[in-house]
Structure 1
Amino acid sequence: MSAPDARRPDTPVNPPQKEKATTRGPAETVLVSTIARRFYLDGRSKVEIAEEFGLSRFKVARALDIARDTGIVRISIRLPSQIDADLSDRLRAAHGLDRAIVVTGFEDPVQTRQQLGATAADLLGEIVEDGDVLGLAWGRTINIMGAELTRLARCTTVQLGGVFSHRTGDEGSVETVRRAAQLSGGTAYPIYAPLIVPDATTARALREDPGIASAFAHFDRLTKAVVAIGGWDERSSTVYQSLDPEAREEYRDLGVRAEVSGQLFDVEGRWVRTPLTDRLIGVGVEQLRAVPEVIAVAGGPDKAEAVGVMLRSGLVSTVVTDAETARSLLA
C-alpha cells in the first residue's frame, strides 16, 4: 500500500495555531492593575514589587507591559500649555541650536512679551549652575524675565551693557542684574552708564571708571549670556530709536538688519563695524562669541527677520521665541 501523499492540497503543511485568548480573568486584572499602581503612582521599584507579591522581576515587568498594552495604563506626555514642543524641536534642528523654546504667544504683543520673559526666567532657573558667570543685556523682555525669576543657582551676574537714559524705566536693566544676584546669593556687576555715548573719547573714559571696568573685566569670563534682539526699524529697536535719521539710513545702506546690545549685523548674520561701535559701553562681539551659551529672548510680529539674522550669525546657541516667529523662520 502506498504511503499517504503528505502534500495533498486539502492538508495544510503548517496548520495555523489557534489564537491565544486575550481575555483576562478578574484575579489577573486586579493583580496587573495593582502592580501598575505600585510602579507608576507609588514609585515602587520592580524589585520591591516582586518581593511584595512573591513574583519574579520578569513577571512584574510582564505585568507592566500588559497594563500598557491593554489600556489599564495610558502614558501621555503633557507640556505646559504655553510651550509648543514640536515647533521647538523643528526650530532647534533647522538652525543647529543647542536649545529652542517656542511659546504659543498671543495676539497682544505685550502678553507675548510677558510669556517670553516668564519662560526665559524658568529656563535660567533650570540651566544656570553654581559658579556660572551670567551676563544680562538690556531689553524689555529681559527685564520681565528678571522680575519673574524665582530661583537661580549661586552665580556672578554681570550687566552686558549700559542703559538707555532717555527712556522711562531703563533702570530696569540694573535692577535685573541686582535682583538676579540677590536671588542667587552671588556678586552683581552693574553698569551705571548709558549704552550709547556721544563719541569714542567719552566711551574710552567711561570704560576706565572703576565700577564699569569691574563689569568689563568679567566679559571674558562669561559662561552664559542672555541677550535681546532688535530689528533695524522704529518699532523693534531702541538702538535704532537712539540714533539720528542720517545714521539710521547710513547703517541700513551698509546692510544692517539686526542688533544685539548695539552691535550691528547684516542680513547674512555678519557683524558690521560702524562709528557706533566705538561709542558703545558694553560687551564686544568677539567676547559674546566666546561665551559657551548665548540665550536670545525675542519674539513678536516685528522680530522674525532680526531673529533669523542672529541665528545665521552663529552667535546664538539657545533661542526663546513665539510660535508666529518660529513658523516664519521655518518657512
Structure 2
Amino acid sequence: MTQPDHARLLVDVSRDYYLDGRSKVEIADRRGISRFQVARLLAEAREAGVVRIEIAPPAHLDGDRARRLADLLGAQEVVIVATGNDPRRTRDAAAHALAGLLAARVRAGTTVGVSWSRTIELAAGLLGALPPCEVVQLVGALPVDGAGNSLALIERFRGMEGVRTWPVWSPLLVGDPATAAGMRRQPEVAAALDRADALDLAVVAVGAWSATGSTVYPLVTDAEREDAAAAGAVAECSGRLFATDGSPLVTPLDARVVGVTPEQLARTPEVLAVGYGEHVAPALRAAVVGGIATTIVCDDAAARALEELLGSPAA
C-alpha cells in the first residue's frame, strides 16, 4: 500500500469510527481487514494528528475556570452552576450547590449564621440533617410572595436533631428607626444578633440594588432609594447596602433593619454568598472586595459577567 493510500485509510477508518459511530468489527468487515488492524490504525491516526480529541466540559463544570475566577476575585472558592431556561431552574441549581457546600462545611460544634433568600430556603430543604451545631438567624422575617421567610427557615433547622437555633423574632425591615432599635433590644433578638459575633460560617444571599435584584428594594420608600443611589449603592446583603468597592453604606434605611451587620459578616471566617444572573456581578464583586464573602455560588451568566468586569472573558 502506498503512503497516500495508507494516509487515506487512516482518514476513512477514523471517520467510520468517530463520526459515523461504526464499531471496530463493522469497520473491519467493511474494509476487509481485521479488527486488530482497525485498532492500530485508530491509534496511529491519533498519534499522527489525523484525529484530535478535545474534551470541552460545560462552562459550569470547568474547574479551572472557577479557580481562575476565584483568583481574579480574591475569593477562597467560586462554584459555578448552569444557567437554567428560567430563573426557577437556575435557583434550583444554585440551591443544590449551596446545600452541598453546607453539608461539607458544617461540623459538630459549628456555629452557622443563616440569612434568608429563596435560594437559601431551597438549599435548607435539601439538607437531610446536620451534625450537632448552632444555627443563628441573621435577619428578621421578610415575607415574599410564593416563598417562605427567615422565621420559617429557622424552624427547618430547629427540627433537626442536635441543632440549637437562635431565632430573630422580628421583621427584617421595621417601620421606623426607634421601633427597630426597640426590636434589637428584645432579649431573644438581642441574644441572636449578639451570637452573630461568634460565627464560624455564614450563608447569605447577595443581590444587585435594583427592583429586580433585591427583595428589599421594592419595600423601601422613594426617598430611601434616592439616598441609596446618591451614596453609590450597588449591592444588598441581608438588608445592608454596599458600594462598588465593597464598603458598607450607612443610609437612613440602615436604621430600620433588624439583622446582622457588615462588621459581623466581615469577622466571620467563612461566608458563603449566593447570587445569580448577569446583573448581580458587580454586587458579588463588592461582597468579596468588601470582605463579607469568601466563597461565591453563582450561575454561568453571573460568572461570565464577572469575567468581563474583571477583564478576563471566558475562553
Name the CA distance, whole Å, in 2 between partners of 1:107 and 1:276. 35
For 1:244, the aligned partner's letter is T
Partner of 2:173: 196
- Displacement, 1:91? 1.4
For 1:293, the aligned partner's letter is E
Partner of 1:137: 115
Name the CA distance, whole Å, in 1 between partners of 2:160 and 2:253. 35
Name the CA distance, whole Å, in 2 between partners of 1:109 and 1:170. 14
For 1:87, the aligned partner's letter is R
Cα distance, 1:85–1:323 mapped onto 2, change above 3 Å = same
1:237 and 2:214 equivalent? yes
Find the partner of 2:271 among 271, 294, 308: 294
1:112 and 2:90 equivalent? yes
Task: Give the 3-state SS of the residue equivalent to 1:265 in structure 2.
Answer: strand
Name the CA distance, whole Å, in 1 between partners of 2:306 and 2:128. 31
Check conservation: 2:208, 2:280, Cα contact below 8 A. yes
Task: Give the 3-state SS of the residue equivalent to 2:113 in structure 1.
Answer: strand
1:278-317 residue pairs with structure 2 within 5 A?
Answer: 278-317=255-294
Moved over 4 A (4+): 79-82
Task: Give the 3-state SS of the residue equivalent to 2:159 in structure 1.
Answer: helix
Name the CA distance, whole Å, in 2 between partners of 1:184 and 1:86. 38
Partner of 1:156: 134
- Displacement, 1:291? 0.5
For 2:85, the aligned partner's letter is E
- Displacement, 1:196? 1.0
Partner of 2:74: 96
Check conservation: 1:231, 1:259, Cα contact below 8 A. yes
Q: CA RMSD in A?
A: 2.2
- Displacement, 1:183? 2.9
Partner of 2:157: 180
TM-score between the two structures when normalised by the length of structure 1: 0.72
For 2:292, the aligned partner's letter is L
For 1:160, the aligned partner's letter is L
Check conservation: 2:73, 2:285, Cα contact below 8 A. no
Name the CA distance, whole Å, in 2 between partners of 1:252 and 1:216. 28
1:86 and 2:64 equivalent? yes
Name the CA distance, whole Å, in 2 between partners of 1:276 and 1:214. 23
Partner of 2:45: none
Name the CA distance, whole Å, in 2 between partners of 1:226 and 1:102. 16
Name the CA distance, whole Å, in 2 between partners of 1:81 and 1:144. 24
Task: Give the 3-state SS of the residue equivalent to 2:163 in structure 1.
Answer: coil
Which deviates more, 103-112 or 113-122?
103-112
Cα distance, 1:86–1:104 mapped onto 2, change above 3 Å = farther
Check conservation: 1:174, 1:190, Cα contact below 8 A. yes
What is the number of equivalent residue pairs in this alignment?
A: 254
Task: Give the 3-state SS of the residue equivalent to 1:164 in structure 2.
Answer: coil
1:257-268 residue pairs with structure 2 within 5 A?
Answer: 257-268=234-245
- The structure having more radius of gyration, on CA atoms, is 1
- Displacement, 1:89? 1.1
Gapped regions of structure 1 (runs ≥ 5) = 1-76
- Displacement, 1:182? 2.9
Deviations along 1:252-273, whole A, 9 cap, x unmatched?
A: 1111111111111111211111
Structure with greater proportional helix content:
2
Check conservation: 1:163, 1:170, Cα contact below 8 A. no
- Displacement, 1:84? 3.4
Cα distance, 1:214–1:171 mapped onto 2, change above 3 Å = farther
TM-score between the two structures when normalised by the length of structure 2: 0.75
Name the CA distance, whole Å, in 2 between partners of 1:238 and 1:107. 22
Cα distance, 1:301–1:327 mapped onto 2, change above 3 Å = closer
Name the CA distance, whole Å, in 1 between partners of 2:129 and 2:79. 19
Name the CA distance, whole Å, in 1 between partners of 2:58 and 2:85. 19
For 1:252, the aligned partner's letter is A
1:254 and 2:240 equivalent? no
Name the CA distance, whole Å, in 1 between partners of 2:269 and 2:138. 15
Name the CA distance, whole Å, in 2 between partners of 1:170 and 1:159. 17
Cα distance, 1:93–1:81 mapped onto 2, change above 3 Å = closer
- Displacement, 1:217? 2.4
